[in-house]
Amino acid sequence: MILDILFPNRCIHCSRIIDPELLVCDLCFSQIHFTHYNYFENNPIKEKCSLFFPVENAFALIQFEKEGLSRQIIHDLKYRSREKAGKILADWTAERLDFKDNFPDLLVSVPLHPKKLKKRGYNQLHLFTETLSSFYNIPFDHNLIKRNHYSKAQALKDKKHRLETVNTFSTIKPVTGKHILLIDDVFTTGNTVSSVAWEILNAGDNKVSVLVMAEDV
């Protein structure tokens, strides 16, 4: 209580004092550009995924614009130790993503390399995935896929090096006959999601759908 008084939670965009469980104030919330995609229908994120691998369904929560609040939210989650933003993003997703009783079997998030995980202190996708798992009652597995190589963030790479994802990931346990919802933070070139998706598809008779927090536009 004393800490809340001395160090109140503030909107990450305008610095207004807000409820401890919130990320942005009501005024700034209106500046977030949600995609309003239908998970089961053709949409831009599904079309992009289809260029790389056979995808069942796809959904992106927000637009990741060059300048804007959406980018600030994702960057705070990933680089400024604001892990709780993952839960808030999951809450926003749950309000907008309807599986219509056609649920995937398993939630799997893109892993960090152990070196990066140690440096950051958390995987920015874990709380997001676990919150959705609880809401939809779908199991998750953080240990199905491993990242084989340490590399700098996609956002910090030039275009040439963003394409270098060969053998970046591998499955570390058997998985077959599952419909897996693959979760990532930002869909940029599609190479990371594609690399993980093919590992899952090649592991057995599996299907892959995609959920990303944000789509680079």
- Write the pLDDT tens digit of every residue in 23-61: 999 999 999 999 999 999 999 999 999 999 999 999 999
- Write the pLDDT tens digit of every residue in 109-138: 999 999 999 999 999 999 999 999 999 999
Q: Does residue 92 contact residue 131 with C-beta atoms inside 8 Å? A: no
Question: Residue 185 half-sphere exposure, CB side, CA atoms within 13 Å?
Answer: 24
- Write the pLDDT tens digit of every residue in 158-167: 555 555 556 7
Rg (CA), the chain: 17
CA 14-15-20 angle, to 5 degrees, is 125
Give CA 137 to chain center in angstroms: 18
How far is the C-alpha of 173 from the C-alpha of 48, rounded, in Å? 28
| Block residue for tokens 């190479």 | 191
Domain segments of the chain as ranges:
1-31, 32-216
Amino acid 65 reads: E
Q: Which CATH class is domain 32-216?
A: alpha beta
Amino acid 35 reads: T
Q: Is the pTM of this model over 0.75?
A: yes
The reported pLDDT for the residue numbered 167 is 78
